[in-house]
Structure 1
């Protein structure tokens, strides 16, 4: 669930702060950005942000003069053109991503008929800070895997020559240069604070409101750890661990206990390790959290308790998102029977193999049963799951969108088949009867004393075959009749 402030913030970002194509903007930095920053962005940030956000940063970077910190003024229409006619929605989403990873600050001023924006680019973190951050480095590890992560990390190692057996011969400044006799005047030293320097990366700020420190402190036992041991650095580590692993306050207390040193201080490296082990214990060995975008807040939907009560697509999405798999299978059963061990094993196999989120797995079960197929064999479900994976299906809403075209096609084919059936059979009293030719219908109607209207466009000289319903007269041979009479007489006389 979204916090009220987060919902208001999201609506604010996607509402009044969406730029129109004619709104102007400039790009600024607080210092110099270098080619090394581009390399860090490509290697370390690109796997975490989408291509739109990466392209937007590089495009705004190119706005800046080589030795300057502010670009010329442009319009958002020009920016969208530079980005290959990127839609306004994608542009705003890319901007929000850059703001989220602290690569961009955005400012706006309303000029009445239009607005003016200032986009302030920040430098990426330097490699050392990135790999020790405790947030982004973990998400990068999860995104690219251990082997590639270690390769990238090694690529930023500083090669150092062993100089222990060497003698330093470096001369000092005073050995080479002579100090001037004149002093630098105050005028010469004026405005030196305006000279451009290296831009500093923005720091991540995770508010205390996301982690309830008051509850955390109440749960701490002074026997194991004192409040003085929870320094600002430890609090920052706890905030980051909560942001990454979403460990609640009660569990965090036990992890802190396991990180206390003999001197009573908290070993932050140990705290990070036990937090990672705790996460993998619950999520599976080798599991790491992934960086995901927040979904836009949606209108509250009344979640139904039974699948038979669903009246809208929104209710179906909410139902499949919140129900557990066991009860869903039970809901879809004809008599509400519990799922069999074979069905649960098949579901578990597909989930493990395709790494599907539980709501999407529920949608797959629902879709499979909707098609009239059983779920006790994973082959059919795995085939559909593979197709969804190729289409980038990650939510129940994606499932409905992906399958809607297929369902519509099935409905269209059924309606066409039904129309063909209606042409082949005539409905009489709700029963299907064989085809009766027009000429036969007319003849039968005449014999029943009914009149049948002539169909339009029928020629006057249509010959209708005559139906003879009287039996023909039967004639018998006299000799045969005489033999039959003699046979009856012999039987009667006993001969």
Structure 2
């Protein structure tokens, strides 16, 4: 891919740039970049990424931005090589590039993304396989061994770690009533993130009585309150996503706990909740899907099928909606699909009804849900201000009716920020149920990665 194919008339050395950090690049990140990313990036792309981190502004104003000529001079490369270096970093999810214009002129914003952790990197099919092919088996195994962490040494040990309040003493009144000065400062940081622990509509999900749950689990199964607190986020998400009350939840926690340590087993708990839901959904949803929905007047130029879809999307929780959609095609919601949907719901980026429309859209052309594709579509919808299920249907129709660019492709769907050709991304999502198909898909994607410079 050459620069002339994309930006030749806009991207010149005189155009300015501005760096926007996302997090902080620490020493561990630099080790991972050198060991895992450098063989794929190449030296020019690797150097560009590190240089942009050094150019993150401190007290400068955006009106005082430098030009790309400054970067190219430091790197000793021309415009075309700079562009190739940049898009490699983009394809690996290290840079997100935006265009903007003010009274001074056009400029580029480079949002710098921290590299994946070593665990995330090796679990990523594309990255790990491409690294393997770049450095060979022996070096690949050596790097995997370097970054793997074994916890087997902890087997048979007794933890004696002290809690905060065992070491530090605070005024009892301050523990109960937060000092006003502290509360004022805390309020200054509350607006930093829009994410929530539990993302389903609050009015549709009854609040979990945590104290009752703690008491019941302690009395029946002798599981400590500390262990429950350690798994609080998982418990709250299961309660919200599947709408499980305290009695059922406590029984599931107790029946799946580790009988040796008497601690919660998160993996078994999630599987038990999913199995229970699948069993119940086969009974209750089959009748629910067949119910006729009374549709309102067609004020939004929606046909009857679209109105029925929106009504179901507003009425059902995501888990129920997925089960209903799968039953319509004589299928069933698999564990991988349910986990992907639950993770998506917990991201707090769209209302429940919109998430249900997203599920419906993806299942029209794909037999299963995959988290990377869901994130890609959700990213596009968020950028296009999709707030309601009606907005989602309109966005789908607009997207399907727009002219297609056959050359448009994306190497890593979960990092995409621009509107994406979803059908092409779906073709790249591996089907975990068919290992041969998955292998062919990966080989096809790797071949495209290798040819991206041609």
TM-score above 0.5: no
The higher relative CO (CA closer than 8 Å, separation ≥ 6) is in: 2
TM-score normalised per structure 2: 0.43
Choose 1 or 2 for highest CA Rg: 1
TM-score normalised by length of structure 1: 0.40
